Structure 1
């Protein structure tokens, strides 16, 4: 501390307390404590920049197409944790988790077609086939024909993409699969309610701060910091109405919903890599996965004190689980590490 700063403070007489009358001393002790300064709504729900969590962002131009995918990355060592967000979210859904993961692994999170800051030749085609093609194109553009070990991490719709890619063995260096809170049975059963759920969302917001506030108070997110980092990228400004609207019109993608999740459980079980299913509740496990889990075909972890977006609500716990999965399966920068062998 700079001791010169003490010089500006007036000195109190040593006998100031003795000079007070009993009534004055009693009154001073009965005063209520000062009211702490409250955080304004604008500050509490203000957007947070990606730079606090990721190290870089870049636009990946796909050769021979008009598509550009926005990608965030962090970390310099270890295998690549390639993160795929859910429908209506963005790559920044993994921002807080990336801030924890990057100390030991590399993290890459892309904005999928029709989401975030990606711009593609057809924003409306978010079929599972097209989404898988997009991810493959980004990986090829980033790493060429010799990619490092990749652990696919997918949340909700992104989990479906990750499962399809792992099951089809189209990523030669795929070393692991982490699926976050998506199970075929529950997903298929909930599709009949999706339009109603989407119609209950506000269609526009007067400001980004109001959208962040709604996402935490009414929407699916429970972590204010994560919402401040991720929600802005799920919005776009409507010049005509002079307000913010959702970047992705999910209600118009209904024709693709069934194909995202149909046959997902058996496909997940068939993936020839170490697998982790991270759930927010055991009631989401269907029959095929229950049998597979009892047979030890995959690891399952249930985190009960969270909502659907586990990686956003409890990023520290999410990062810890993913790192433990990588350590448990000995996944290094070049793949599964076999004791006694060196590459």
Structure 2
């Protein structure tokens, strides 16, 4: 009897030890990672004559500026891994959009397309003045819609390229009727940051790359002192009034932008009729990235960075403009636009 109890007790202790080790391993696997070393620094950009202060991450010191706009609910850290891979050849700037990350504005709930477009123009103007270097706008999801509308304004004389990540009008408009249900079904409360990261890659979130999630997800959370848990920093469900304005007529606006354009998709089923015709006519470059989720820049950073650098080289985009072999000075983008 004594031997039997000892054996049972030893088995229980071994099982408990295994559980503890698994929990520690899981906690370590999903623990947050710093963005330092990928981005070089971050800054707060105060907009004159307003209460708005926008948080930006910066990487690199030479080359054209790749200006990145994240999707709804994400932050500028969504572009961390690609910044680390591209900063030797270009400058990468990733902005926390209004109501996201560490940016603070007089109205964090005004996520209308027009307001966000003006935010982007204000930040670029404050950072670079009236003569910014050559710019390539990159936008993911909501940020893609804003990037398209900024480009269409033709208010950036040095805009040299436009890259849109996994958003097209047809699919986006069709999904709007389901968005509130989708948002309501996601997990809203987390006992720790690690659990939020784990949920983002395993429990129904939109990320597949654990490393990227460990960097980007913590910036999308805040600690609720009343509930004693972590919650999402941005209440996307409260922005419904602006959703249609992000995506309506997006395809035609995209096709009208007078700069080289690249559309990155996770699947060809996302193309609508206008884009299908435009792609057949050669009005933009399209690349489908296989085996990825919605956040292509996070899930496949190596492929994404390679595609981006190839796009820049293919269109001969240098620090000051389009570089043509044989000419000492780049062609002014102002004259091309």
What TM-score, normalized to structure 2?
0.90
Task: Tell me which residue corresponds to 2:224.
Answer: 238
1:193 aligns with 2:178: yes
| Distance in structure 1 (CA, Å) of the matches to 2:99 and 2:106 | 10
| Distance in structure 2 (CA, Å) of the matches to 1:168 and 1:58 | 26
Deviation at 1:119, TM superposition (A): 0.8
Among 69, 76, 90, the residue aligned to 1:84:
69
1:307 aligns with 2:300: no
Among 292, 304, 311, the residue aligned to 1:318:
304
Task: Tell me which residue corresponds to 2:251.
Answer: 265
CA offsets 1:128-172 (integer angstroms, 9 cap, x no match)? 000001011100110011100000000000001110011110111
Match of 2:36, SS?
Answer: helix
Task: Tell me which residue corresponds to 1:171.
Answer: 156
Task: Tell me which residue corresponds to 1:181.
Answer: 166
Among 113, 117, 129, the residue aligned to 1:144:
129
CA offsets 1:252-309 (integer angstroms, 9 cap, x no match)? 0000000000000000000000000000000000000001100101000001210000
1:119 aligns with 2:101: no
| Distance in structure 2 (CA, Å) of the matches to 1:249 and 1:66 | 21
Mapping for residues 291-302 of structure 1, pairs under 5 Å:
291-302=277-288
Among 261, 271, 283, the residue aligned to 1:285:
271
Structure 2: 5+ residue runs without aligned partners? 1-17, 330-337
Task: Tell me which residue corresponds to 1:329.
Answer: 315
Structure 1: 5+ residue runs without aligned partners? 1-34
Aligned length: 308
Task: Tell me which residue corresponds to 2:198.
Answer: 213
Deviation at 1:242, TM superposition (A): 1.1
Deviation at 1:50, TM superposition (A): 1.1
Among 29, 35, 44, the residue aligned to 1:44:
29
| Distance in structure 2 (CA, Å) of the matches to 1:318 and 1:269 | 22
The ranges of structure 1 where at least 4 consecutive aligned residues each deviate by more than 6 angstroms after the TM superposition are none
Deviation at 1:206, TM superposition (A): 0.7
CA offsets 1:100-128 (integer angstroms, 9 cap, x no match)? 01011000001000001111110100000
CA offsets 1:56-99 (integer angstroms, 9 cap, x no match)? 11111111111111100000111000000000000000001111
| Distance in structure 2 (CA, Å) of the matches to 1:287 and 1:325 | 24
| Distance in structure 1 (CA, Å) of the matches to 2:265 and 2:173 | 16
CA offsets 1:182-240 (integer angstroms, 9 cap, x no match)? 00000000000100100011111111000000000021100000000000000111111
| Distance in structure 2 (CA, Å) of the matches to 1:86 and 1:336 | 29
More helix by share: 2
Deviation at 1:338, TM superposition (A): 2.2
| Distance in structure 2 (CA, Å) of the matches to 1:82 and 1:335 | 15
RMSD, aligned α-carbons: 1.2
Task: Tell me which residue corresponds to 1:68.
Answer: 53
